[in-house]
Amino acid sequence: MCKRAGLPGQVRGFTLVELLVVIGIIAVLTAILFPVFARVRAKGRQTHCLSNVRQIGVAVLAYAADHEGWAPVAFCGPPPSRYCTPWEPDVRLTWWDIIPPYLGRSESILFCSSVKSYTPTYLLGGAVAEPGYCCLEDVNRPGELIMVIEAEPPSEKMRPEVRYVAPSTSYVPRQHDFPYHHFDRMSACFVDGHVAMLGEQDLDMASPLWNPAK
């Protein structure tokens, strides 16, 4: 017996089973690819942050070259800083306010894209920023002393000195005062200008990375 031909122009639709199979395949592919895309984006933010800290480091070195080897001090005020928080509107002028002319392109370099913050998300090394304490030209091992490093976004409970300057011989914070936004690591620039991603094991508070005398 001959089969009856379909009507001219008639289009066969998908069955419910076929639609469910397609949806299932898409769901599986999404589950596989989403973590990959998320990791790629996170890796991109890490690279961007490392680029930021490198440019800030270059800017600090350029500032030092114009000021007989001295880096900008942490606090320089008055007048008040442009980077004040809502709960502390009259913070003294900080090194963040002084360094932008040396950044060239944009002050957005002072902010890591992985976090949201009222104030820049990088700290100047305490041993570098203390007035009269450390001339960059006199550092014996510039490749071993942290000059710029990532910061934790500020909170109302955070002490002011933690917001602008990293540890030094005169101030030793707790380990969790520092962020590890990039695969449990954070970016840092050393006095010789090289950058690195550091983990918690690298930032022991007794580490010579904080102390130019060691």
pLDDT tens figures, 29-72: 777 766 766 677 877 888 889 999 999 999 999 999 998 888 88
Q: What is the pTM of this model?
A: 0.75
Residue 7 has pLDDT above 60, yes or no: no
Dihedral class, residue 134 (left if φ above 0, else alpha if ψ from -120 to 50, else beta): beta
Domain residue spans in the chain?
19-202
Phi and psi at 28, nearest 5°, equal -65, -45
pLDDT digits (tens, 9 = 90+) for 101-133: 998 867 889 998 888 888 888 888 877 776 555
